[in-house]
Amino acid sequence: MLKQGKANRLAHDLTHRGVTAWLLSAALFAFYLALYFTEGFTGVARALGLPDKWTLYGLLYTLAILAGGVHVLRKYRHNRYQVVRTAVVMFVQVTLAFAVPQILKFFHQPEYYFSYLWPLKLEDLTPGIVFQLPLPYILYSFLAALLLAPALAALFGKRWYCSWVCGCGGLANTAGDPLRHLTSKSSAAWKFEKVAIHTVLAVCVTLTALLFVTWGLGSRHPRLSAFTYHFQSLYGLVVVAMLSGVIGVGLYPIGGTRVWCRNFCPMAALLGLVQKIGRYRITVKQNMCISCGLCSKYCEMGIDVRAYAQANTSFTRASCVGCGLCAEVCPRGVLRLENTATKAPQEFVLVRISGVR
Amino acid sequence: MRFLIIGNGVAGATAALTLRRREPDAAITLVGGESDFFFSRTALMYVYMDRLSRRDLEPYERQAWDRQAIRRVRGRVVDLDAANRTVRLASGDTLSYDRLLLATGSLPNRIPWPGLEAAREGVAHFVTLQDLAECERLTPSTREAVVVGGGLIGVELAECLVFHGKRVTFLVREPWYWPVALGGPESAMISQHLRRRGVDVRLEEEVAEVLTEPGGRVGGIRSNAGREYPCQMLGVTIGVHPAVEWLVGVTTPPACGRGILVRPDFATSLPGVWAAGDCAEIQLPGEVPLVEQIWYSARRQGELAARAMLGDPIEYRPPIFCNSAKFFEIEYTTVGMVMQAPADAEEFYCPVPGREASIRLVAYRGALIGCNLLGARWNHALFERWIAERRPLDYVVGHLGEAQFDVEFGRLDLSCIREAFRQHAQTRQSQPAGA
């Protein structure tokens, strides 16, 4: 039953797929379509003294994360993991994802975003682009994507990126927090997720390989160059513009905050595969779950956490971004995120005092 | 083989799933009078507070029941004929079985206070889905509410009503809140927490008379202290009792005491009929009959009763007691014997400075027998192990770090507990033995 009062009813309507939610979704779609496919915002940006529409977008995005972040910091102030994680994600957004590239530009350096890596940022391993950069940037692009990111994911889970650093996760976990419960928990949605996200990863890896082959062969194969160019443009249109932008954020009020991260992001797919064989896990306290379902409800990745908790099974799911909200909302403290090398002692408690003599 | 289970609460549903795991081809029917699908009763409060929908309470996807080939029947059972192995529903339909499990749960207690009968509207319990619907119906027309009963459901209902902006008075009959489980200082911490959240906690007060408005709606209560508390909603949360009334007058009633009497293998006095969960009263040899009425015990009993129905040799022994709760923001875990400990048991109680948290360890003859843990997260399984291994308190305090289950970066600082224990041990040593 929703809380009394007009403001509460409006909030409920917005967060429970009511009319307001659909209106907001439509507005977000319109905003992203206008941003990607028109120059309407260029004038606005200039009027505000900003160089282009993307800087304006970056500013708006950063403000959304900061405003949402303040709300989240207040809401979960009793939970140190949430406080630290949210503070870091806000800090990364303000610095690496917004201020640092502008400062670099000011000092006549490339406008480089250190917080976005291949395969989320295809340009980082697009030879025609990355090899134009000074050597330190080239090294960072390759090492961060191919060594640092997987290594950290193996040690700490993909959360180090998806819910501590990445701007997509940053928006989801701050401004998107009131909408996090909308992600579908059905097993059908899980099946779709597995097919979709690994398809995008495969396409992305294929495209990257093709970009290297085309670059290596130079201008000797004009037909291959043309094909690669069209492939790259199509990927930019479908994956980058439509799936990560228009649909990813446009569907926030309807499908939850992680539509892009869960179903399409190639970075999430890759780090998820590493996570499955890494240390990260969600430990479940034995025989303590009351099956209330808050963990599943508030999982933004659509994981039916309760299914594991009530079965007393500690688990690692490729899609889990380690936001820690399942542990936060659990009224019995059943869940804990862990990445220690040795498993917690409770998993060695094999001889549980049984109910049978 | 046809299995019939009456009651689709956690005991019944767990039994059905256990039977299916073992018997892929048996016919399994689950009869429920309250809901079409098994739901988590412990989470009713989160629906009332708009954090979950009713559908979210269902622990399994709906199609799972069809996948498991567990037939669900919605209806109330009104007759049981163990001679012909049939039960009759209120709709008139008859279901036959080879083996029957009674898992009908419990019902809220009521006290016939003077004036209660005149109150046709405004008295609410908080146990069933129907109670929830009634609470929701009453909420908009309620400004003030009185919740009676110093247990767990009372605090849950109070939290919901505070969420909805009601002025809540919480009447506790005992000298402090929940004395069967909490010590005085722990209870004082909870009461203070409740008061800070806007609940008017009244200790050592109970209802003397229910006052009614002319239309039949509750208007308030008068307490035994002579005070009047106006309210449009009276939450009665004074415990539950096994749901056995329906068995009075059936063709073949099983033997009942407080609940349906069962042997340690959950068999009732009727052939082919078992009972488990809140409704069962287990007769353990040489011990006081046992009625367990918490979520965990119902799930445990449901699974074991199903195994007994399949012929496994089951002899129920309640494991080391364990329960959990949450008082607004304060999480609570208890293991073993705490307030029921022998009078000469050793007690170590330590409130954590600067945090609404505390730890109480109880030892008897040098070994840990129970603990009350408030305001921080602990792995109860380790405490169970330490109790089973008869660990002394200094061992437990030395190993507390292993049992911590707080979120990353949020671990409780144990140094104050260790220091408090050092002083506790010194004080005990300086006392003559037996003091």
> Would A123 be classed as within a structural domain?
yes
> Would A8 be classed as within a structural domain?
no
> Would A353 be classed as within a structural domain?
no
In angstroms, the CA A326 to CA A303 distance is 10
**Chain B from 357 to 386: CB within 8 A of any A CB:** 377-382, 384-385
pLDDT at A344 over 70: no
CATH at residue A311: 3.30.70.20
| Strands of the B86-89 sheet, one edge to the other | B77-81, B86-89, B94-96
The CATH class of B123-238 is alpha beta
What is the identity of the amino acid at B259?
Answer: G
Least confidently predicted of A86-90, A264-268, B286-290: B286-290
**Chain A from 215 to 254: CB within 8 A of any B CB:** none
Instruction: Quote the pLDDT of residue A351.
Output: 39
From the list A4, A83, A353, which residue is nearest B384 (CB)?
A: A353
Considering the domain architecture, whether residues A260 and A123 belong to the same structural domain is answered as yes
Considering the domain architecture, whether residues A214 and A75 belong to the same structural domain is answered as yes
Average pLDDT over residues A211-215: 95
Considering the domain architecture, whether residues A309 and A186 belong to the same structural domain is answered as no
**Positions in chain B short of pLDDT 50:** 434-435
Q: How many CB atoms lie within 10 A of CB B18?
A: 18
Instruction: Quote the pLDDT of residue A355.
Output: 41
From the list B165, B329, B380, which residue is nearest A4 (CB)?
A: B165
Q: Could you tell me if B48 lies within 8 Å of chain A, comparing CB atoms?
A: yes
Last residue of a domain, one of A225, A245, A271: A271
Q: Could you tell me if B304 lies within 8 Å of chain A, comparing CB atoms?
A: yes
pLDDT grade, residue A149 (50/70/90)? very high
Q: Which residues pair with B3 in a beta bridge?
A: B28, B99
**The token pair that represents B426 in the structure block:** 């010194």
Q: Are A154 and A232 in contact (CB under 8 A)?
A: no
Average pLDDT over residues A245-268: 97
Domain holding A77, by residue range, is 19-271
Q: Could you tell me if B401 lies within 8 Å of chain A, comparing CB atoms?
A: no
Cα–Cα–Cα angle for B206, B211, B215, nearest 5°? 150
> Would A195 be classed as within a structural domain?
yes
Considering the domain architecture, whether residues A288 and A260 belong to the same structural domain is answered as no
Residue with tokens 């994956």: A239
For residue A265, is it left (φ>0), alpha (ψ between -120 and 50) or beta?
Answer: beta
Considering the domain architecture, whether residues A93 and A241 belong to the same structural domain is answered as yes
Name the CATH topology of B322-430. Answer: Enolase-like; domain 1 (3.30.390)
Contact A349 B382 (CB under 8 A): yes
In angstroms, the CA B235 to CA A208 distance is 65
Q: Give per-residue pLDDT as tens, A285-326.
A: 999 999 999 999 999 999 999 999 999 999 999 999 999 999
pLDDT at A200 over 50: yes
Q: Could you tell me if B354 lies within 8 Å of chain A, comparing CB atoms?
A: no
pLDDT grade, residue A348 (50/70/90)? very low
In angstroms, the CA B337 to CA A285 distance is 21
The answer to whether B123-238 and B322-430 have equal CATH topology is: no
Considering the domain architecture, whether residues A172 and A297 belong to the same structural domain is answered as no
Contact A81 B300 (CB under 8 A): no
Considering the domain architecture, whether residues A223 and A331 belong to the same structural domain is answered as no
**Chain A from 256 to 315: CB within 8 A of any B CB:** 285-288, 290-294, 296-297, 306-307, 310
Considering the domain architecture, whether residues A285 and A249 belong to the same structural domain is answered as no
Considering the domain architecture, whether residues A292 and A321 belong to the same structural domain is answered as yes
Q: Could you tell me if A322 lies within 8 Å of chain B, comparing CB atoms?
A: no
CA distance B93 to chain A (A): 32
Contact B379 A346 (CB under 8 A): yes
DSSP annotation of B37 reads S
> Would A84 be classed as within a structural domain?
yes
CA dihedral B393, B396, B398, B404 (to 10 degrees): -140
Q: How many CB atoms lie within 10 A of CB A78?
A: 13
Considering the domain architecture, whether residues A166 and A122 belong to the same structural domain is answered as yes
pLDDT at A350 over 70: no
In angstroms, the CA B36 to CA A73 distance is 40
Average pLDDT over residues A97-121: 96
Considering the domain architecture, whether residues A237 and A171 belong to the same structural domain is answered as yes
Instruction: Quote the pLDDT of residue A218.
Output: 82
Set of chain B residues whose Cβ sits within 8 Å of the Cβ of A178? none
- Strand-pair category, B346-352 with B228-230: unpaired
Instruction: Quote the pLDDT of residue A341.
Output: 82
Q: How many domains does chain A have?
A: 2
DSSP annotation of B183 reads -
Contact B43 A4 (CB under 8 A): no
Strand locations in A146-280 (E): none
For residue A89, is it left (φ>0), alpha (ψ between -120 and 50) or beta?
Answer: alpha
pLDDT grade, residue A6 (50/70/90)? confident
Structural domain boundaries of chain B? 2-107+241-309, 123-238, 322-430
Q: Is residue B332 helix, strand or coil?
A: strand
Considering the domain architecture, whether residues A40 and A99 belong to the same structural domain is answered as yes
CATH ID of B2-107+241-309, from 3.30.420.240, 3.50.50.60, 1.10.3720.10, 3.40.50.1820: 3.50.50.60
> Would A192 be classed as within a structural domain?
yes
Contact B50 A12 (CB under 8 A): yes
Q: Give per-residue pLDDT as tens, B67-122.
A: 999 999 999 999 999 999 999 999 999 999 999 999 999 999 999 999 999 999 99
